[in-house]
Amino acid sequence: MRKRILILTLFSLVSVCAQAQELINPSDVYQGDPVKFIPISNSSITFFVPVFDDSIPQDPGEEGKATVAGIDSDNDGVRDDIERYISLAYDSDPAVRDSLYQFAAAQQSAIIRTVEPAQDINLMLIKARSCVTISAGEQAAEKAIVDLISKTLNTYKRSKAYAANLETYLSNINEMGGRNIQCN
């Protein structure tokens, strides 16, 4: 009886491996970070196959800290290091992840001042913060925003640029009035 179970188990294992080989080309699997795991199973056993997620940018390292703007390889308004952090830290919650991307893009605009007038950046920051709160809840949003700001202002030059622009943003905040909040 034990031999039959062992043979059946080995047969199932070989069968699943053969199925996995048909579904995933081993040369497409990246042996680094970030890696996601895809479950492949039959009725009795599940394998988790590591697969590179190429939608997440690679870590720019020290080169990404060389300028105030940093590296944004896909030109979406979010630095690669920040996009990578958000993607990996909030992978399981798309609504929170998307609202944090929105907040990160607003923060980046505030740092490098890509939007004029200052009221527009204020509105972007307020909307984005509200969207994070709506998607994550108040306590989780506060922690996520504080963590994101600390990662965004990770060099002296970025902090200095943000502080220099902040005075302008804050002086214009009262001119904004009430506006509807629409999350991306």
Determine whether 135 is exposed, middle or buried from the number of CB atoms within 10 Å of its CB (0-12, 13-18, 19+).
buried
Amino acid identity, residue 139? Q
pLDDT category of residue 23 using cuts at 50, 70 and 90: low
Higher-confidence residue of 177 and 97: namely 97
d(CA 122, CA 106): 9
> pTM for the full model?
0.67
Q: Are the CB atoms for 36 and 87 separated by under 8 Å?
A: no
- pLDDT tens per residue across span 126-149: 899 999 999 999 999 999 999 999
User: Where would I find the H helices in the chain?
Assistant: 2-23, 80-89, 94-112, 118-136, 138-152, 156-171
- β-pairing verdict for 35-41 and 46-52: antiparallel
The answer on pLDDT for 25 being more than 80 is no
Q: List, as one string, the DSSP characters of 140-169.
A: HHHHHHHHHHHHHT-SHHHHHHHHHHHHHH
Check residue 162 and give its pLDDT.
Answer: 87
